[in-house]
Amino acid sequence: MKKQLCIFVTLFMATIVNLNAQVGIGTTSPAASSILDVTSTSKGVLVPRMSSAQRIAISSPAEGLMVYQNSTPNGLWMFINGAWTRLASTVDINSFGDATSFAANTSGSVIAVLLGGTNVPLPNAQNMGANVTIDGTNSIFTVTQAGRYRIAYRANLTAGLLVSTRVTVNGVGVPALSIDPVLSLSQFAAEAVVTLSAGDQLSLQFFGLLGAATLLSGSQGAGMTIQRVE
């Protein structure tokens, strides 16, 4: 008799769930817009926990699928628009500011340009994030955090020169951040997003001329922004 009663109650509850299309855990009144309403003031919900390799090995993940990855980079991951995306934490958000810096030259420096390149010092208006450092010459920036970075610079001279500008990463010029004109210019600007590794060093350079380039004084003679975007 008890067995029959148990079966009856189970079937009855299943019928109620099917009719209402809702399940309440910790509540007898699940929210009308929910399929599952879990209510508690002392406990949470645990999603599946797995390593990066196990997450990647999930076959045909559905849109919106969520897991907690317990290997680096750990955190909540969701399958969105056909790709796994780690949900940002407060630490992630703060790290973007820590990896953003700006420095300029407003003192009208005269740069002795060499054919192979001369670094431009940027000693003024420095606003440095914790994860970007600058050396004693104010011309070599080091990023301490890997990621994709927006790099932008400007250079303004007192007179037009047939000189080139670029940003170097570890001493090598970045083509997307190089300006190699065929006519004399007094203003230069470039911007690009590049992928950097922790410890990479960046510098703004004049090159391709054996002579002197005088930066504007009392305004932005030169400036460079380093901003982590991912």
Residue 16 has pLDDT above 80, yes or no: no
- 123 and 224 share one domain: yes
Residue 117 has pLDDT above 90, yes or no: yes
- 188 and 103 share one domain: yes
Residue 10 has pLDDT above 80, yes or no: no
User: Which DSSP string corresponds to the chain?
Assistant: -HHHHHHHHHHHHHHHHHHHT-EEES-SS--TT-SEEE--SS---PPPEE-HHHHHT-SSPPTT-EEEE-SSSPEEEEEETTEEEEPP-HHHHHHHHHTEEEEEEEE-PEEEE-TT-EEPP--EEEE--TTEEE-TTS--EEE-S-EEEEEEEEEEEEEEES-EEEEEETTEE-GGG-B--SS-EEEEEEEEEEEE-TT-EEEEEEES-SEEEEBPEEEEEEEEEEEE--
Q: What CATH number does the domain containing 117 carry? A: 2.60.120.40
Is there a contact between 210 and 114 (Cβ–Cβ < 8 Å)? yes
Mean pLDDT score, 110-124: 97
- 135 and 51 share one domain: no
pLDDT band at 52 (very low <50, low <70, confident <90, very high): very high
- 137 and 175 share one domain: yes
Tens digit of each residue's pLDDT (9 = 90 or more) over 134-170: 999 999 999 998 999 999 999 999 999 999 999 999 9
- 139 and 175 share one domain: yes
pLDDT band at 18 (very low <50, low <70, confident <90, very high): very low
pLDDT value for 60: 95
pLDDT value for 11: 47
pLDDT value for 20: 54
State the pTM of this model. Answer: 0.67
Mean pLDDT score, 48-76: 93
